[in-house]
Structure 1
């Protein structure tokens, strides 16, 4: 389970995001507890509440680029709520989860439609040129790629744990393919801030990880 301090910070964040919508407090508490339970299930090592906290913190930094900040924040909460490394439809199921829960909270349909669209865009990590909200969510989701060497090492170790059912040889091949797809992109990040300050670090980390995989 997450630390009490992290849970407290996230609960405060959750309440703040829901505040403009006048959500019933009991319903908001119940929804938060459901999210905590979902992100605390066995088998999660990286896609936990710590990841959600990191994504939300990055969105806070990038909020000046957003068109609908509340929708981006809500999408962050739900984008990995369903996470099964053996499934191919996590994003679709996470979007469905968000649709049901947010509908029950009385969030406007227009906001929910944006949230589900943003979640679905995390599947391929691509955003249209004019889709600022997706760009911010995707950059925040991938901010981990540009962290320092220690944090990046913790991230790669946690991802390997989540794929514990995959043989070492298959994992190396699959992970290398994922990483090389990022390197082949003209840009990993979309927002000007991340492109300038995070892109070089991310590319360096990815190249180093590929070298590490190939030397195993």
Structure 2
């Protein structure tokens, strides 16, 4: 299923959004993720996340909310800014207010999940949908080294934890603690994600 079809199907058939709003917001999503400053946070990234979603959606409690989180989590991306997640959550809040039929608790959940992509640090007892969503977002770290570096060419992943910022570029000298900072927090739910981090990623623990 292509991204536009997936979005319109979710908006119209699942969320029951009427009128021209589904098409209007698809235009916003497509336009934002096609911006020239993006190298990794693109429509291709969404497609890859949905590949994992399609394999695991039956395990999700609220798959429609995970779909919304995927579409909106990187909708604002300025490589020089440090508030992309907050701004992306705000755009989702605007979407929710405009469509008018999303319950407050569901809106809050999606906004919380988007904000969690700032650190990707959650505990074992956190919402399973949130854990799956975060694993889908960072599944690239579970790829073999050669695939990882090809995929993330010209990319910077910024991970902020304990006031330290690790920058990952197309180099094998990236900080070795990056992967370990994730795998130490909880068990991961995608078999191709961080559960194999020490074996398949370029970061040796």
Q: Which residue of 113, 119, 143 corresponds with 1:124?
A: 119
Q: Which has the higher contact order (CA 8 A, sep 6+)?
A: 1
Query: What does 1:40-79 correspond to in 2, within 5 Å?
Result: 40-79=34-73
Q: Is the counterpart of residue 207 in structure 1 residue 200 in structure 2?
A: no
Equivalenced residue count is: 189
Q: 1:39 to 1:197 in 2, by over 3 A?
A: closer
Which position in structure 1 is the counterpart of 2:161? none
User: Are the equivalent residues in 2 in contact too, given 1:103–1:112 (CA < 8 A)?
Assistant: no
Distance (whole Å) between structure 1 residues aligned to residue 187 and residue 9 of structure 2: 27
User: Are the equivalent residues in 2 in contact too, given 1:188–1:199 (CA < 8 A)?
Assistant: no
Distance (whole Å) between structure 1 residues aligned to residue 146 and residue 187 of structure 2: 21
User: Are the equivalent residues in 2 in contact too, given 1:143–1:198 (CA < 8 A)?
Assistant: yes
CA RMSD of aligned residues (A): 2.6
Question: Higher helix proportion, which one?
Answer: 1
Which position in structure 2 is the counterpart of 1:190? 188
How far is the alpha carbon of 1:24 from its aligned partner?
1.5
SS at match of 1:174: strand
1:134-153 CA deviation, whole Å, 9 max, x = no partner? 10110100111123445312
User: Are the equivalent residues in 1 in contact too, given 2:41–2:74 (CA < 8 A)?
Assistant: yes
Distance (whole Å) between structure 2 residues aligned to residue 50 and residue 40 of structure 1: 10
Distance (whole Å) between structure 2 residues aligned to residue 174 and residue 148 of structure 1: 19
Unaligned runs of 5+ in 1: 1-7, 164-172, 211-216
Distance (whole Å) between structure 2 residues aligned to residue 30 and residue 183 of structure 1: 41
TM-score by length of 2: 0.81
Q: Is the counterpart of residue 157 in structure 1 residue 153 in structure 2?
A: yes
Distance (whole Å) between structure 1 residues aligned to residue 179 and residue 144 of structure 2: 18
Unaligned runs of 5+ in 2: 159-165, 169-173
Q: Is the counterpart of residue 137 in structure 1 residue 133 in structure 2?
A: yes
1:97-126 CA deviation, whole Å, 9 max, x = no partner? 011012212241222111101101111102
How far is the alpha carbon of 1:199 from its aligned partner?
3.3
Question: Higher strand proportion, which one?
Answer: 2
